[in-house]
């Protein structure tokens, strides 16, 4: 039942986070968010060099890690973290000159460095809980972190502190997260290195981290690059559009992925059961993410019309629609890439990430030059078409059936879209359309899917959550 707890609680947590983000996007202007996204992208490089895939290797390891594995991982990680922090501290003035952040932006950069160090202290207790499939316990520190972070950010933003709001929020989140996690999973940090342990973990960790490096180059390095050629307000528009377009991914997919990676890893030798688990995870994902994506496409403009001080985000609407399309395809590709990692086929995921990284760096500069900040979303739309490639790779190892899993949610989502179009024609008031369209569309979609999946809904839960405990 730990996985159920994780999904239920983190779903509520994501709702809180999205509501808080909505408040922050009302209080703060696009330029502030642009600085925040660029600084975060730069600091994310630290996260890459602090792990080299050891945490993932501990989770994926077929035999139970011993004290030496944990001690060696913690020690090596802290060496890397401290090195990265020192390097980042020396580079702070240079980064400030490149981006012209100003004093507030540099303070945010230093605050995120501190938060990065604090986050590294949570690695081993988190890995232990994931290997034990104690997802219910794992979620409590996340709740503490999220509440502390957004409460701090909203209060300080309301007081007019701007970008500094994110800085203090990050520091308080880091401190509260470490304390909460060690209360849930006590672990005494130990120092020591075992060559055999590190060598064994790096066999999986280095190829896995190669994928992380490509993801870093594909996503964060692009944002860092855009920060040098676009105004911060334009970066803010990109971040806003991507944030809301990926609501379904954050609400649903992140939770499923969190559960399925350790679960698939444990099931890698039982391909029949693994096939069923992958199929059902795809069905659960599309069952929830498709209607959310369709609903957001129709509801985002009325939301902008009725929320005070929200017209400032209107220029980002085209990017939002394009990002939504790529997010829907990511719903299908991400669990499949996750499955490849879980069964140790990291070579294939590396090639996929290499493909997507190359395509990103070819298309984004060209399209941004042609279409401004909207070029980023156009590139994502084009690259999203290749997201089905993992399906053909996974089928080489596990005979999954994608079409059978998505057909009912897809038909239901198309029906939902038709309902929302009809209501849009009939109702001119934005607020009334939001309320009535959501209720009617949600009800019709739910009835349709229940009618066609009622014999499968309970097995979903048992297969994806309950049986993972076996």
Predicted confidence (pLDDT) at residue 381 exceeds the cutoff of 50: yes
Using the predicted structure, report yes or no on whether residue 459 has a pLDDT greater than 70. no
Q: What is the value of pTM for the model shown?
A: 0.81
pLDDT digits (tens, 9 = 90+) for 208-241: 666 667 777 888 889 889 999 999 999 999 999 9
Q: Is the pLDDT of residue 53 over 60?
A: no
- The mean per-residue pLDDT over the stretch 323-345 comes to 83
Q: Lowest mean pLDDT of 98-112, 182-196, 314-328, 441-455, name the range.
A: 182-196
Tell me what the mean pLDDT of segment 250-254 comes to.
73
CA pair distance 464, 4, nearest whole angstrom: 9
For the segment 151-176, the average pLDDT, to the nearest whole number, is: 93
Q: What count of Cα atoms within 13 Å lies in the side-chain half-sphere of residue 56?
A: 25
**10 band by pLDDT with thresholds 50, 70 and 90:** low
How much is the pLDDT for 189? 81
Provide the token pair at 406: 């998505």
The pLDDT, as a whole number, for residue 3 is 47
Q: With contact defined as beta carbons under 8 Å apart, do 129 and 183 qualify?
A: no
pLDDT score of 152 more than 90: yes
Going by pLDDT thresholds of 50, 70 and 90, the confidence category of residue 443 is: very high
Least confident of 65-79, 286-300, 433-447: 65-79
Share above pLDDT 90 across residues of the chain, in percent, rounded to a whole number: 29
Q: Which are the contacts of 428, defined by CB distance < 8 A and separation ≥ 6?
A: none
Provide the pLDDT for residue 159. 93
Alpha carbons 58 and 353: distance in angstroms, whole number: 22
Q: How far apart are CA 384 and CA 327, in angstroms?
A: 8
Residue 52, pLDDT > 60, answer no
Instruction: Place 151 in a pLDDT band, splitting at 50, 70 and 90.
Output: very high
Looking at residue 336, what is its pLDDT? 85
What is the chain's mean pLDDT, rounded? 82
Task: Among 82-86, 249-253, 328-332, 455-459, name the one with the lowest average pLDDT.
Answer: 455-459
What's the pLDDT at 54? 61
Q: How far apart are CA 150 and CA 20, in angstroms?
A: 6
Task: Tell which wins on pLDDT, 134 or 170.
Answer: 170
Q: Assess whether pLDDT exceeds 70 at residue 37.
A: yes
Separation of alpha carbons 180 and 53, rounded Å: 24
Our CA dihedral for 89, 92, 94, 97, rounded to 10 degrees, sits at: -170
* Dist. CA 335–CA 342, nearest whole Å: 10
């Amino acid at each position: 039942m730990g996985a159920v707890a994780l999904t239920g609680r983190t779903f509520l947590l994501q709702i809180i986070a999205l509501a808080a983000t909505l408040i922050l996007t009302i209080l703060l202007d696009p330029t502030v968010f642009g600085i925040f996204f660029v600084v975060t992208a730069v600091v994310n490089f630290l996260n890459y060099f602090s792990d080299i895939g050891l945490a993932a290797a501990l989770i994926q390891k077929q035999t139970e890690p011993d004290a030496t594995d944990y001690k060696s991982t913690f020690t090596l990680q802290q060496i890397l973290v401290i090195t990265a922090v020192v390097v980042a501290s020396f580079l702070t003035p240079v980064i400030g000159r490149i981006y012209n952040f100003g004093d507030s932006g540099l303070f945010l950069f230093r605050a995120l460095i501190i938060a990065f160090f604090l986050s590294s202290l949570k690695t081993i207790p988190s890995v232990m809980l994931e290997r034990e499939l104690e997802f219910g316990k794992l979620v409590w520190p996340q709740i503490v972190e999220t509440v502390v972070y957004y409460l701090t950010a909203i209060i300080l933003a309301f007081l007019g502190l701007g970008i500094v709001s994110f800085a203090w929020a990050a520091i308080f989140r880091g401190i509260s997260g470490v304390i909460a996690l060690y209360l849930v999973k006590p672990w005494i940090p130990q120092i020591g290195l075992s060559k055999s342990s590190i060598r064994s973990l790096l066999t999986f960790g280095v190829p896995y981290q190669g994928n992380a490096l490509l993801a870093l180059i594909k996503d964060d390095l692009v944002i860092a690059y855009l920060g040098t050629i676009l105004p911060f307000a334009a970066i803010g528009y990109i971040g806003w559009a991507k944030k809301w377009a990926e609501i379904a991914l954050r609400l649903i997919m992140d939770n499923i992925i969190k559960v399925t990676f350790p679960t698939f890893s444990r099931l890698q030798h039982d391909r029949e059961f693994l096939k069923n688990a992958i199929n059902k995870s795809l069905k659960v994902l599309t069952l929830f993410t498709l209607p959310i994506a369709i609903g957001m496409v129709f509801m985002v403009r009325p939301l902008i019309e009725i929320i005070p001080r929200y017209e400032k985000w209107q220029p980002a609407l085209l990017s939002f629609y394009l990002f939504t399309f790529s997010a829907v395809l990511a719903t299908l590709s991400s669990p499949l890439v996750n499955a490849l990692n879980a069964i140790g086929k990291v070579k294939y995921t590396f090639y996929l990430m290499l493909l997507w990284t190359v395509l990103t760096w070819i298309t984004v500069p060209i399209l941004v030059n042609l279409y401004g900040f909207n070029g980023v979303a156009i590139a994502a739309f084009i690259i999203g078409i290749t997201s089905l490639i993992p399906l053909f790779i996974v089928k080489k190892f596990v005979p999954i059936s994608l079409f059978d899993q998505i057909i009912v949610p897809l038909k239901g989502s198309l029906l939902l879209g038709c309902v929302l179009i009809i209501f849009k024609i009939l109702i001119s008031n934005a607020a009334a359309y939001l309320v009535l369209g959501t209720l009617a569309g949600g009800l019709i979609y739910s009835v349709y899917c229940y009618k066609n999946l009622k014999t499968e809904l309970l097995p979903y839960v048992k297969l994806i959550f309950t049986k993972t405990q076996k």
